[in-house]
A and B are shown apart, each in its own frame.
Chain A
Amino acid sequence: MERIEILEMKDITKSFIGVKANQDVNLVIEKGDILGLLGENGAGKTTLMNVLYGLYHPDKGHIIVNGKPLYLRSPKDSMKAGIGMIHQHFMLVQKHTVLENIALGFDEAPFFFPQRYMRKQIEEYSQKFGLNVDPNKKIWELSAGEQQRVEILKTLIRNADLLIMDEPTSVLTPQEAEELFDILRKMINNGHSVILISHKLEEITSICNRVMVMRKGKVTGTALIKDVSKVDLARMMIGRELSGSLEKKEVKPGKPMLEVSNLSVNSDQGLPIVQNLGFNVLWGEIFGIAGVSGNGQREMVEAITGLRKSVTGSVSLEGKDITNLTARDIHNRGISHVPEERIKFGTVANLPFFENSVLKKHHKTPFSNRMLMNYPNIRDHAKNLVAKYNVDAASISVPVKNLSGGNIQKLILGREISSEPNLLIAAHPTYGLDVGAAEFIRKELINCRDRGGSVLLVSEDLEELFQVCDRIAVMFEGRIMGIVDPNNCNIDGIGLMMAGLEQQNQGENI
C-alpha cells in the first residue's frame, strides 16, 4: 500500500444544529510531522479530527492524500487509507484480553490459528516501537497508559500511517506521558506522522514540530514550533494574554472542616488500596493531594463522598461523623464533588444540558420540592452556568453528549462550585480545559476558599497545586508520605515522596 507522504484537508466546513464547528479549515501534514492542534474548549478540534477519521461527513471541503482525493464513508475507509485515531475515551472491551481486543474487527488474520498470527504481529510491533504490553492480560487489569499502548498497537497493526491522538496525555501520569512521547518519536522516525491534540503548551512545544491553532471553528494560525513561544501560542488560542499569577487573600485557616483518620478502603478488585490514611482540611484552606494517579486517590475520594464503603477509619465534617453515609446525605451536609471520571459519573449524556445542570441537587429547592421539578428555575440556573462559566453550548436544551469535552467539564465544575459548598472535593478539575478556562477554574477554587469554604484538590499537576494550595499532602500507595507548605519546600523532595522514596511523617493521625 502506498504510504501517506502528504495529507491535506481543504476548506473543511462542518456545522451542527446551531453551531459552526469548523469553517473553511485547511490543514496540511507531511510524513514525519508531529502536528500539534491547539484551541480553546469547543474550538472544533475533535470535530475536525472526526472528519478526518471518517466519523463525520463535512458539509463542504475535501481531503487529499498524495495529491489524490480521498472519500471517507466511515472509519473503515480511513483505516484503509492509513489513518488511525485514538479517542480520549478508550474504545476497548474491558473483559477481553489485549490480544482479543487487537484482533477484534481485524480482517487480515488467517482463518486458521489466528491467535498465533496475531501474537506474532503484536510482538513484532511492540518491539519495533517499544510498546510493552502483555497480550494475555485483561484490559481492566491495565493502567491508563497501558490501555493507550494497546490502542496505539491496534492502529499500528492496522497499518496506520497517520495517527490522530485526542488529548492523549490527560489520562496519563507524567512518566507515562514521557513514555508515550518516546513511542511517538520512534514512530516518526519510521516515517509515520502524528496529529496531537493537547491543552498543555509544554507538551506541544517539546514534542511537536509544527502547530496549528483554532478558535471558534476557524484556524487562527499555523507555525513551526521553533518560531513561536508559549506566550504566543496562548495569545493565538484565547485572544488575550494570560494573567499569570493568581491573587490569594490572606485567610487565617480555622478549625478543621474535614477530618479523616485511619481510613482504609478497598479497590474494585477487593484489595486494600488506601491504608490508615489521615489528614485534616481546615476552614478557609485549599488542601492539595499530590501523587501519581492510581495511588488510591480516587478510592479515597469515593469513600469520603459516600460512593464507596470504607473498611476502617472515620471521616467527619465540622466535627460530625459522616463515615459511610449515603452520597446524598453527604452532599446535603455541604460537600460538593467533581469526580475524576466525569463523563461517566458526572453527566447523563442523553439528557439535555439544563437537566444535567442540577444533577445531584435536583432534590433541593429551588429546583424541586418533594415531588415536582421546577423547570423554569432549572432553566434559569442552567443559563447562569452558561454565562458565568463561559460554557460553549448551542442552547441549554442540547443533550450533553453534543458538548465538547472541555465544555462538559465546565458544566460539572460550574454546577459543583456554584452551590457554594462548605467543602469542595475536586479531582483533576482542569484536565481537558484550555489554558484560559483552567485559569478561571483555579480562580474559582481560590474564591471558594476566600469566602471561608475549604477545598480538597486532588491533582497530578504540581504547578497547579503550588499555585493554589495552602498545604499539599503527597500520597503514595494509599498512604500520606508527608504534608508540605508550598511556599516553603523544594520540589525535589515532593518528587521523591511521590515516588515513595522518602517519607516525612505518617500524615496526621488523630
Chain B
Amino acid sequence: MSFVIIPREKATPLLNFMILISSLCAGLLAVGIVFLLKGVNPFFAIHEIFRASFGSFFGFKETLTKAVPLILIGSGLALAYKAKFWNIGAESQLLVGAIFGTWIGLNWGPSLPGFIILPLMFAGGFIGGGLWGLLPAIFKIKFGINEVISTLMLNYIAAEFVKFLVVGPWKGKTKYGYPYTDDLPAQAVLQHMGNSRVSLVLIILAVCVALFLAFLVFRTRFGYEIRVIGENPEAARYAGINFFRTTLIMMFIGGGVAGLAGVGELSSIHLHLSYPETISAGYGFTAIIVAWLGRLHPGFTIFSGLFFAGIIVGGDAIQMSMGMPATTVNVFNGLILIFLIMGDFFINHKVRYQRRVS
C-alpha cells in the first residue's frame, strides 16, 4: 500500500480554488502549531487575529488602511510577475515615490490648492517609483544583470538615501532634531473618514488601479505582449514584440503604482518623510505574497491584499493582548507563503492511494 504522486493534466478553476483554500487552511494550521508551542490556545489566537482585523469596526478600519498599499503594490507585482520579471524591489519603488511626493508637497504645496497639489504629488510619486523601476529593467536587458539581485540591492540604496535625506538636507526645521522632514501643508494631506485613518480616496484609487491593471493584462495589446514575453521569450521575438520597450513600460507601471502607495502612506498617515522602516512596514515584501495569493491576477489582489492587511492588524493585536513577540506576523506570512507554494504542487500533481500488487 502506498501513496503515489502523478502529474495532473487538468486543473479546473474549481479545483484551483479548492486548493487555494486548503493551502490557506493548512497554513493557518501550521500557524496554530506555532501558537501551541508558545502555550497559547491556537483557536483562540487565530480567532483573535480575525476578530481584531475583520470582526470589529475599529479593527476593520485599520485593515482597510493597510490594505491600500498592499493592493497597489501587489497588483503592480502581479503585472511584473506575469512577464516573469521577478521584481522584489517594490519596497524601494515605494520609497522613491514617497521622496518625489514629499518634495512636491513641501515645495509647491503651500502655494497650491489641495485639488491640484494632491494629484501632482501622486503623479510625481508614480513617476518617481516608475523611474526607479526602470533601472533594473535596463540593467537586465542591456547588461544581462539578474533582476532579483538588482531590485534587491536597489532596496538598500533607496532606503539609505531616504535616511540621508531625513537626517541631512531635508531635516525638518520644526522637528527639533528628529529625523523627519517638515510636515506637509494642510492642503497636501488626505482627509480621513470620521475619526479613522481610512482615506476613501486611497481606497478608491487602490481598487481602480488593481482593476485597471487586470484590464491591462487581460484585455490590451500590451498585456498580451507581456504574457507572451513571460511565457515564451523566443516566441515573443518571432512575433516581433519589442522586448525592451515592453519591459520598460511594464516596470514603469509596476514601479509607478508602488510609488503611488508611497505617496498614499505619506499624505494620509505619516504627513512627513521619515525613516524608511516607518514609511513602509515591509509592504513591498508582503505584497509579493499578496500577488502570489492573488494568483498573479491584478484584480484578485484586492482580496488577497485585504486578507494580508487583516493578518498584519490581527498580528499587532495579539502581540499586544497576548504578549506574542513582534515577529509573529512574519512567521504568519512566511508560513502562509510556504503553504501557498506547496499548494501549487497539487495543482500540477495529484496524489493517489494505490495498492501495490506483485
Whether the Cβ atoms of B237 and A307 lie closer than 8 Å is yes
Contact residues, B224-247 vs A (CB, 8 A): 224-225, 227-228, 231-232, 234-235, 237-242
* Cα separation A55 to B240 with both chains bound (whole Å): 35
Q: Say which residue of A327, A346, A349, A350 sits within 8 Å of B240 (CB atoms).
A: A327
Contact status of A351 and B358, CB under 8 A, knowing A56-B9, A73-B4, A327-B238:
no
A68: contacting residue among B219, B240, B358, CB under 8 A: B358
Chain A positions within 8 Å of B119 at CB level: none
Q: How far apart are A197's CB and chain B's nearest CB, in angstroms? A: 20
CB–CB A351/B238 < 8 A: no
Shortest CB distance B32–A (Å): 33
The one of A17, A345, A375 in contact with B238, judged by C-beta atoms closer than 8 angstroms, is: A345
Number of interface residues of A (CB under 8 A): 39
Question: In this assembly, does B157 line the interface, its C-beta being within 8 Å of a C-beta of chain A?
Answer: no
The reply to whether B238 and A307 contact each other, CB–CB distance below 8 Å, is yes
Residue of B nearest to A305 (CB): B238
Which residues of chain B have C-beta atoms less than 8 A from A429's C-beta? none
- In the complex, what distance in Å separates the CA atom of A92 from the CA atom of B7? 21
Q: Identify the closest chain A residue to B3 (Cβ).
A: A73
User: Contacts of A372 on B, CB cut-off 8 Å?
Assistant: 219-221
Across the interface, which residues of A come within 8 angstroms of B174, CB to CB? none
Summarize A's interface: helix, strand, loop or mixed.
loop
Instruction: List the B side residues contacting A271 at CB < 8 Å.
Output: none
CB <8 Å contact, A346 and B235: yes
Are A73 and B354 CB-contacts (below 8 A) given A371-B222, A373-B224? yes
Contacts of A450 in B (CB 8 A): none
**In the complex, what distance in Å separates the CA atom of A355 from the CA atom of B239?**
12
A3 on the B face (CB < 8 A): no
Expressed in whole angstroms, the minimum distance between the Cβ of A254 and any Cβ of chain B is 28
Is the beta-carbon distance between B219 and A348 smaller than 8 angstroms? no
Main secondary structure of the interface of B (DSSP, over half): mixed
Q: Once bound together, how far apart are the Cα atoms of A339 and B7, in whole Å?
A: 30
Q: Which residue, of A17, A57, A339, A348, has the highest number of chain B Cβ atoms within 10 A?
A: A348
Taken together as a complex, chains A and B put the C-alpha atoms of A79 and B356 apart, in Å, by 18
Q: List residues 49-68 of chain B with CB under 8 A from any CB of chain A.
A: none
Once bound together, how far apart are the Cα atoms of A371 and B222, in whole Å? 7
Is B322 interfacial (CB 8 A cutoff)? no
A375-B219 contact given A345-B235, A348-B231, A355-B224, CB 8 Å threshold: yes
CA distance A464 to B104 in the complex (A): 70
Cross-interface CB contact of B10 among A17, A328, A360, A371, cutoff 8 Å: A17
Known: A71-B357, A73-B6, A371-B220. Is A344-B234 also a contact (CB below 8 A)?
Answer: yes
Interface 1/0 per residue, A362-394 and B, CB below 8 Å: 110000101111010000000000000000000
Q: Could you tell me the distance between the alpha carbons of A307 and B242 in the complex, rounded to whole angstroms?
A: 12
Shortest beta-carbon distance from A317 to chain B in Å: 16
Most chain A beta-carbon neighbours within 10 Å: one of B225, B239, B352: B239
Bound complex: CA A507 to CA B65 (Å): 73
Any chain B CB within 8 A of the CB of A347?
Answer: yes
Tell me which residues from 2 to 61 in chain A have a Cβ below 8 Å from any Cβ of chain B: 16-17, 55-57
Q: Which residues of B contact A (CB under 8 A)?
A: 4-7, 9-10, 12, 219-225, 227-228, 231-232, 234-235, 237-242, 352, 354, 356-358
Apart from A56-B7, A74-B5, A346-B238, what are 14 other A-B pairs with CB-CB below 8 Å? A69-B358, A71-B354, A71-B356, A73-B354, A326-B240, A327-B237, A327-B240, A329-B240, A337-B238, A355-B224, A359-B235, A362-B225, A363-B240, A368-B224
Give the B-binding residues of A (Cβ under 8 A). Answer: 16-17, 55-57, 68-69, 71, 73-74, 306-307, 326-329, 331, 337, 339, 344-351, 355, 359-360, 362-363, 368, 370-373, 375, 402
5 contacts between A and B (CB under 8 A): A71-B354, A347-B235, A355-B227, A370-B221, A375-B219
